[in-house]
Amino acid sequence: MAEIVLFHHEQGLTSGVLAFADELRAGGHVVHTPDLYDGRTFTEFTDGIGHADEIGFGTLIERGRLAAEDLPADVVYAGLSLGVMPAQMLAQRRPGATGALLLHSCVPLSEFGGTWPHGVPVQIHTMDHDEWGDVDIAHEFVETVEGAELFLYPGDQHLFTDSSLPVYDESAATVLRKRVLEFLATIG
């Protein structure tokens, strides 16, 4: 069993994000789902991006840090798109991380100090033609970090794992969940 902190995407802590967390729980894991938007959700991706811009990405990362502050150090940090920022920052900077799951996005290693902690496994999942998926950054990441895994799914949909959104891709999301659960089984 792994303990996971799952940070939501641009559209907020949607029912699809909560459903994904429940699927991880059904796999025997403890999952925390902090709400970086204080209860707000957005039906349109661009509205969610606008809200994130309004709050400020630094503030959102800090909210993520504070959400993890009282949790044990030995957790898996997971993020969906926008949520990758606090997840990756914590995995890179907070000692004790047991793994990281970067879904729909990743950030250059230099953003949070330039190095990945030795022995912390990481998976990156995105669609191969997702303009928001940071595919080039993901390739550079796995070339730099020993043991990092990159899984590309056919398509161009961002947030394809969120069952509450029109971009949901059941086939790709099912494969992703399987891979994530296998990854978590090696940790927990």
Residues 97-102 have a mean pLDDT of: 98
Domain that holds residue 37: 3-187
Q: Is the pLDDT of residue 114 over 90?
A: no
CATH number, domain of 168, equals 3.40.50.1820
Two structure tokens written together for 125: 């999942």
Give the separation between CA 68 and CA 118, rounded to whole angstroms. 21
Domains identified in the chain, total number: 1
pLDDT of res. 107 = 95
SS (H, E, C) 1-30: CCEEEEECECCECCHHHHHHHHHHHHCCCE
Q: Is the pLDDT of residue 128 over 70?
A: yes
Q: Confirm whether pTM is higher than 0.75.
A: yes
Amino acid at 131: E
Q: What is the mean pLDDT of the chain?
A: 96
The pLDDT-based confidence of 188 (bands split at 50, 70, 90) is low
The pLDDT-based confidence of 4 (bands split at 50, 70, 90) is very high
